[in-house]
């Protein structure tokens, strides 16, 4: 599970152990713990939390609620910019918009869920490097 914490809303993503997207959404910050509870009950084993806005508060609450759960703080630098790119990979512009540079397009939806997905992918990437090179 990946969480991109924010002041009023949070990005939220869940991947299966096979890498399949199970959730990619934006939720209200006050609904975060209830949403996490559903997925923890469904078997989520690792929670990756972006290290910027409200991360310490989210970490504290998650660890208090689920002390046995593996909770990792992940560098979320540049995830907002990368989230835009990922969004347009999943939702390529159509019609005349195909010819407009992606940087000039404004997505119709909040990208926090994509940022949460990128947070998971960063964690998995770093973990994979550590498994290949234990001295890292």
CB contact set of 112 (below 8 Å; sequence gap of 6+)? 4, 6, 9, 10, 11, 12, 26, 83
CB contact set of 26 (below 8 Å; sequence gap of 6+)? 9, 10, 11, 12, 109, 110, 112, 113
Distance CA 93, CA 74 (A): 31
pLDDT of residue 131: 58
Q: Are 32 and 58 in contact (CB under 8 A)?
A: yes
CA 31 to chain CA mean position, Å: 16
CA-based nearest residue to 79, from 54, 107, 116, 106: 116
Instruction: Walk along the chain (136 residues) and give the pLDDT tens digit of each residue.
Output: 999 999 999 999 999 988 899 999 999 999 999 999 999 999 999 999 999 888 999 999 999 999 999 999 999 999 988 999 999 999 999 999 999 988 888 888 899 999 999 999 999 988 765 655 555 4
Report pTM. 0.88
Q: How far apart are the first and last CA of the chain?
A: 24
Q: Cβ-count burial of 66 within 10 angstroms (0-12 exposed, 13-18 middle, 19+ buried)?
A: middle
H helix or E strand, kind and range, residue 28 = strand 21-28
State the residue range of the domain holding 31. 2-132
In the block, residue with structure tokens 């975060």: 32
What CATH code is carried by the domain that includes residue 79?
3.30.420.140
Count of domains in the chain?
Answer: 1
């Amino acid at each position: 599970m990946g969480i991109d914490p924010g002041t009023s809303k949070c990005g939220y993503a869940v991947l299966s152990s096979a890498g399949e997207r199970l959730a990619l959404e934006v939720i209200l910050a006050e609904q975060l713990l209830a949403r996490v509870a559903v997925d923890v009950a469904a078997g989520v084993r690792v929670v990756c939390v972006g290290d910027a806005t409200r991360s310490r508060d989210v970490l504290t609450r998650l660890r208090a609620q689920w002390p046995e759960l593996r909770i990792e703080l992940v560098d979320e630098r540049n995830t907002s910019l990368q989230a835009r790119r990922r969004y347009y990979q999943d939702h390529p512009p159509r019609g005349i918009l195909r010819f407009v540079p992606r940087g000039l397009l404004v997505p119709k939806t909040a990208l926090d869920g994509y940022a949460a997905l990128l947070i998971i992918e960063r964690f998995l990437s770093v973990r994979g490097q550590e498994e290949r090179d234990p001295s890292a």
